[in-house]
A and B are shown apart, each in its own frame.
Chain A
Amino acid sequence: MSGEIVLELRGITKRYPGIVADDHVDFDLAAGEVHALLGENGAGKSTLMNILYGLTKPDEGEIVVKGKRVTFSSAKDAIEAGIGMVHQHFMLIPVMTVAENIVLGTEPTREHVLLDEAGAERSVRELSQQFGLAVDPTALVSSITVGQQQRVEILKALYRGAQILILDEPTAVLTPQEAGELFAIIRSLKEDGKSIIFISHKLNEVLEIADRVTVLRRGKRIDTVPGREATEETLARMMVGRDVLLRVDKKPASPGEVALKVEELRAVDDRHLEKVRGVSFTVRRGEIVAIAGVDGNGQTELIEALTGLRRAESGAIEVGGRPVLAPFTAKRMLDAGIGHIPEDRQRRGLVLEFNLAENVALHDYDKAPDSNWGWLFPAQLVRTAARLIREFDVRGGGPLTLARALSGGNQQKVVVAREVARNPVVLIAAQPTRGLDVGAIEYVHRRLVEERDSGHAILLVSLELDEVLSLADRILVMYEGQIVGEHAAGADEQQIGLEMLGGRKADAA
């Protein structure tokens, strides 16, 4: 990393309502350097990179490329300044060939109007040989592997003349072998003088590839350290910050009978890839079982299968000792006694244009006393909502206020109120504190513990290891669609972290 500084971000600040995504973040990048950006979910990595790539505008701060101050109003500006980004989710057109995808937007032409197919293939082939990115330019994107698709994305950026490459969680979708190949590619790019920003929350990868590491936490730059001097421990401390652990005040659990029993559950995602691969576990009354894991390891699909929002391919589910008959529809799971605080309250948990009374009735509007023979009783909806608003201390509106008008924390209280008031056998809480402020987080945590103590079974799914460690009585670790580890409360964080990253599997191999 002896090269000149090619990129500087100075004092970048981006505020969203109620949250500061990036708070005066400084960052710089030298020619031929791999600079890792490390942080938890929501630490501000993505926002920072979206600003650098022209997708978002910063509220404050400046971007300096090769000594010149620039403002990007779109990704096009960033591309012209020599910045390329490989997103976590690829932006490729599956029905087109590799070469067509790469030249898209800057197609070589014959006679000014015709696509020069052969020319495109030739330049792609030259480019892929130059950087050792083996990929067949004539293959259809739909027919190549995920690892190869990623190479196509990298080639696309290089084709457009990128000197600075942003790789957003590039290994999240790769197998360990593919990741190894990616690292080889990164090294060859480095030798060629390209600069790479490597975004990740996997410590071992960062240590393996990065020349320097910048750690973000809650929108602030904690420190920038040379990769050589860093260790997993020091990086983890900077990332999580020991002192920020939200310790929840709770008594030891006294688990009762089995409330939820899942056996050999399998589910696929929207692309028909198997994301839940034979998951079995139980949750007892009076205990909080947490599922820990890195995002994208099948947690979302597992919850959706358990709540009937995604049809399970196979497997058995028992709720409160009684088997639920397949197919597991949303209605059937609700009636069996499953409550669900969904991951995204605005997209799924609430109908924002409904008032609170209507939102509170979302599961039970079709039963007495909310309705009878298909007739709805709005006055009853309002009465129920008024009671819950009081009990759960929802502020900022009454039963007739639109859900949209409430703050995030109060919206979440409405969701929690509705789910808890149904008195479910099992309460599934998915990322229940995402995007909430400290006060609301404490509230939700306290409620979950209260529910546990009153004899309900809680299944917590969270990407925040903090939250898992502080709330759970039992921890299951999910990796690539399978439960790879089980731990009692107070287990070793290191071991869990290792398993979350597939560590145990790697050891076994």
Chain B
Amino acid sequence: MSEAAAPTANVPPEQEPSTDFVVRLGVAQRAGGLAVPILTAVLAFLAGGIVVAATGHNPWTAYHGIWDGAGFNWLFNIPWDTNTIHNDAYNLSQTLLITTTLILTGLAVAFSFRCGLFNIGGQGQYLVGLIVANWIGCSFASWPTLPHVVLGIVAAAVAGAAWAGIAGFLKATTGAHEVISTIMLNWIAIWGGQYLFGQGGPLQNTYNPAAPESGTIAQSAHIPAFWGTSELQGLDYGFFVAIAALVVFWLILNRTTLGYEVRAVGFNAEAAAYGGINVRRKYIQAMAISGAFAGLAGALDMLGYLTQFGVLDIQASQIGFLGIAVALLGRNTAIGTGIAAFLFGGLLFGTTHGLNSNVFDPVLAGNLTSMIQGLVVLFVGADVFILYLWSARRKVRRQRAAEAVPT
């Protein structure tokens, strides 16, 4: 016994717990944490500002213009004037309208991320939800508002779930990578939508055969606005559905066995299988829930303010892809996704319709948004890189220290 202990006697009996900064940051990076996403956003805005300055504009003026354009200044004009006749109140209501969609497309990416899956198909699932909501909205015109809206929302969510579920099913049964299959499903949704809404398509409008556009939803399918008026694209009750979705997302992940399983698979699929979890089934379920969030986004847009959609709109739509940046910046948590969606909502509206074109050229501003979006994705990827550099630097330092010892 004493002989056995001898070779390891100079080693501390218990391995040092890894309280290493990098390890902790690595965990924070995966499971939440505040510092890294804030730094990411700040860096993205700084880099954006430098580019603005390089083009000979004043970055401060530009950002101030976007800030006002997003209606963020309203929050600081106390007492609050809720009349959307006024610019700042109207801008904020529009920012929140976009936030509604971004929360849901963000959650669509975040949920599958927590299961270790990268859902690039938010755009396709969003479109499928939007198309189904349009179809339901144009039918059942005799129904009262509440059941009609609920049916539209539920059907769109189910459609989105089924669409994403295909990718989950392919992953579970054949191992097909979800990134590839969701991208392909995006294109199927885009071309399918163009056919359905296009000339001669089954869902094309009946009043103008020359216009490749969908029909307009019945009044009964319209989600009422609570801030502003429906005619001026007011903020509708769909906003609260999105807020509720954040709560549901959190509840599923943290308070249900399904969420436990999803997180276990996301962190360590092998340990999950050892725990008795059917990993393949989780892939399908997580993708389906993701798709339901995206489908819901499509329904709220269609029934909330779009009321109809054209082939050109399908080609121009990007909101599902923006969900990726939202989820990445929000670290795949409910609260983070909510905040990131608000930020991107403001950025989107504040650089386009909300922007006073005398202050800053909207064309430049729109590019600035795309750039900041790109930089966020880049920096989110980069903080993994920063972690890597950090640990590599420590390793080199340790090696140098070892080599410095004279032999």
Asked if A220 is at the interface of the complex by the 8 Å CB criterion, the answer is yes
Tell me the bound Cα distance from A323 to B60 in angstroms. 75
Contact between chains at B1 and A246 (CB < 8 Å): yes
Contact between chains at B278 and A331 (CB < 8 Å): yes
Tell me the bound Cα distance from A234 to B254 in angstroms. 59
Give the size range of B's interface with the partner. 35 or more
Contact between chains at B4 and A246 (CB < 8 Å): yes
B271-304: CB near A (< 8 Å → 1, else 0) gives 1111111100000000000000000000000000
Asked if A474 is at the interface of the complex by the 8 Å CB criterion, the answer is no
Task: Point out the residues of chain A lying under 8 angstroms from B260, CB to CB.
Answer: 358, 361, 365, 376
Partner of B17, one of A220, A353, A406: A406
- Complex: chain A residue closest to B258, CB-CB: A374
**Minimal beta-carbon separation of B399 from chain A (angstroms):** 7
Asked if B231 is at the interface of the complex by the 8 Å CB criterion, the answer is no
Tell me the bound Cα distance from A392 to B34 in angstroms. 35
Task: Point out the residues of chain A lying under 8 angstroms from B4, CB to CB.
Answer: 243-244, 246, 438
Tell me the bound Cα distance from A60 to B407 in angstroms. 8
Partner of A331, one of B27, B270, B276: B276
Asked if B137 is at the interface of the complex by the 8 Å CB criterion, the answer is no
**Minimal beta-carbon separation of A337 from chain B (angstroms):** 13
Interface size for A (C-beta < 8 A) is: 60
Asked if A348 is at the interface of the complex by the 8 Å CB criterion, the answer is yes
Contact between chains at B274 and A309 (CB < 8 Å): yes
Contact between chains at B267 and A354 (CB < 8 Å): yes
Contact between chains at A243 and B14 (CB < 8 Å): no
Contact between chains at B7 and A353 (CB < 8 Å): no
**Minimal beta-carbon separation of B184 from chain A (angstroms):** 26
Asked if B58 is at the interface of the complex by the 8 Å CB criterion, the answer is no
Asked if A8 is at the interface of the complex by the 8 Å CB criterion, the answer is no
A351-B27 in contact given A241-B3, A407-B14, A438-B8 (Cβ < 8 Å): no
Asked if A395 is at the interface of the complex by the 8 Å CB criterion, the answer is yes
Task: Point out the residues of chain A lying under 8 angstroms from B402, CB to CB.
Answer: 59-60
Contact between chains at B271 and A348 (CB < 8 Å): yes
Asked if A488 is at the interface of the complex by the 8 Å CB criterion, the answer is no
Tell me the bound Cα distance from A375 to B273 in angstroms. 20
Which stretch, A16-24, A258-266, A451-459, touches the partner chain B?
A16-24
Contact between chains at B271 and A409 (CB < 8 Å): no
Asked if B55 is at the interface of the complex by the 8 Å CB criterion, the answer is no
- Complex: chain A residue closest to B10, CB-CB: A20
Task: Point out the residues of chain A lying under 8 angstroms from B3, CB to CB.
Answer: 241, 243-244
Contact between chains at A220 and B268 (CB < 8 Å): no
Partner of B256, one of A18, A376, A409: A376
Contact between chains at B17 and A396 (CB < 8 Å): yes
Contact between chains at A363 and B275 (CB < 8 Å): yes
Asked if A342 is at the interface of the complex by the 8 Å CB criterion, the answer is yes
Partner of A407, one of B8, B16, B264, B271: B16
Tell me the bound Cα distance from A11 to B405 in angstroms. 14
Tell me the bound Cα distance from A392 to B14 in angstroms. 16
Contact between chains at B15 and A354 (CB < 8 Å): no
B window 1-42: CB within 8 A of A: 1, 3-5, 7-8, 10-19, 23, 27, 30-31
**Minimal beta-carbon separation of B279 from chain A (angstroms):** 10
Tell me the bound Cα distance from A408 to B274 in angstroms. 19
Asked if A437 is at the interface of the complex by the 8 Å CB criterion, the answer is yes
Asked if A45 is at the interface of the complex by the 8 Å CB criterion, the answer is no
A353-B27 in contact given A57-B399, A59-B402 (Cβ < 8 Å): yes
Contact between chains at B8 and A405 (CB < 8 Å): no
Question: DSSP class of B's interface residues: helix, strand, loop or mixed?
Answer: helix
A209-244: CB near B (< 8 Å → 1, else 0) gives 000000001111000000000000000000001011
Tell me the bound Cα distance from A178 to B365 in angstroms. 71
Asked if B263 is at the interface of the complex by the 8 Å CB criterion, the answer is yes
Contact between chains at B270 and A365 (CB < 8 Å): no
Task: Point out the residues of chain A lying under 8 angstroms from B1, CB to CB.
Answer: 246-247
**Minimal beta-carbon separation of A395 from chain B (angstroms):** 7
Asked if A112 is at the interface of the complex by the 8 Å CB criterion, the answer is no
A407-B11 in contact given A347-B271, A349-B271, A354-B264 (Cβ < 8 Å): no
Contact between chains at B15 and A407 (CB < 8 Å): yes
Partner of A374, one of B254, B256, B267, B275: B256
Contact between chains at B257 and A371 (CB < 8 Å): yes
**Minimal beta-carbon separation of B146 from chain A (angstroms):** 28
**Minimal beta-carbon separation of A18 from chain B (angstroms):** 3
A351-B15 in contact given A62-B407, A362-B264, A371-B257 (Cβ < 8 Å): no
A375-B257 in contact given A18-B11, A408-B15, A438-B4 (Cβ < 8 Å): yes
Contact between chains at A19 and B11 (CB < 8 Å): yes
Contact between chains at B256 and A348 (CB < 8 Å): no
A window 396-439: CB within 8 A of B: 396-397, 402, 404-410, 437-439
Asked if B353 is at the interface of the complex by the 8 Å CB criterion, the answer is no
Contact between chains at A353 and B276 (CB < 8 Å): no
Asked if B255 is at the interface of the complex by the 8 Å CB criterion, the answer is yes
Task: Point out the residues of chain B lying under 8 angstroms from A402, CB to CB.
Answer: 27
- Complex: chain A residue closest to B266, CB-CB: A353
Task: Point out the residues of chain B lying under 8 angstroms from A342, CB to CB.
Answer: 274
- Complex: chain A residue closest to B268, CB-CB: A351
A349-B274 in contact given A375-B257, A376-B256, A402-B27 (Cβ < 8 Å): yes
Tell me the bound Cα distance from A365 to B275 in angstroms. 9
A window 353-376: CB within 8 A of B: 353-354, 358, 361-363, 365-366, 371, 374-376
Tell me the bound Cα distance from A368 to B30 in angstroms. 30
Task: Point out the residues of chain A lying under 8 angstroms from B264, CB to CB.
Answer: 351, 354, 358, 362
Asked if B259 is at the interface of the complex by the 8 Å CB criterion, the answer is yes
Tell me the bound Cα distance from A18 to B255 in angstroms. 37
Contact between chains at B7 and A362 (CB < 8 Å): no
Tell me the bound Cα distance from A339 to B220 in angstroms. 58
Partner of A20, one of B5, B8, B255, B277: B8
Contact between chains at B257 and A354 (CB < 8 Å): no
Task: Point out the residues of chain B lying under 8 angstroms from A57, CB to CB.
Answer: 399
A437-B14 in contact given A218-B7, A376-B259 (Cβ < 8 Å): yes
Identify which of B8, B27, B399 gathers the most chain A CB atoms within 10 Å of its CB. B8
- Complex: chain B residue closest to A408, CB-CB: B15
Contact between chains at A438 and B5 (CB < 8 Å): yes
**Minimal beta-carbon separation of B329 from chain A (angstroms):** 20
Task: Point out the residues of chain A lying under 8 angstroms from B257, CB to CB.
Answer: 365-366, 371, 374-376
Asked if A172 is at the interface of the complex by the 8 Å CB criterion, the answer is no
Tell me the bound Cα distance from A252 to B176 in angstroms. 54
Task: Point out the residues of chain B lying under 8 angstroms from A437, CB to CB.
Answer: 8, 11, 13-15
Asked if A330 is at the interface of the complex by the 8 Å CB criterion, the answer is yes
- Complex: chain A residue closest to B3, CB-CB: A243
**Minimal beta-carbon separation of B258 from chain A (angstroms):** 6
**Minimal beta-carbon separation of A25 from chain B (angstroms):** 12
- Complex: chain A residue closest to B5, CB-CB: A438
Tell me the bound Cα distance from A120 to B263 in angstroms. 51
Tell me the bound Cα distance from A187 to B144 in angstroms. 91
Tell me the bound Cα distance from A237 to B24 in angstroms. 44
Task: Point out the residues of chain B lying under 8 angstroms from A445, CB to CB.
Answer: none
Tell me the bound Cα distance from A374 to B262 in angstroms. 13
Task: Point out the residues of chain B lying under 8 angstroms from A51, CB to CB.
Answer: none
Asked if A350 is at the interface of the complex by the 8 Å CB criterion, the answer is yes
Task: Point out the residues of chain A lying under 8 angstroms from B259, CB to CB.
Answer: 376
Give the 4 A-B residue pairs with the shortest CB-CB distance, closest first.
A18-B15, A407-B15, A362-B275, A243-B3
Q: Can you show 10 pairs from A to B with CB atoms below 8 A apart?
A: A218-B8, A347-B271, A348-B270, A349-B274, A354-B267, A374-B257, A376-B260, A396-B14, A437-B14, A437-B15
Taking A57-B399, A437-B14 as known contacts, 19 extra A-B pairs with beta carbons closer than 8 A to each other, sorted by chain A number, are A11-B407, A18-B15, A20-B11, A246-B1, A246-B4, A330-B273, A330-B274, A331-B276, A348-B271, A353-B268, A354-B263, A362-B264, A365-B261, A376-B255, A376-B260, A408-B15, A409-B14, A409-B15, A437-B11
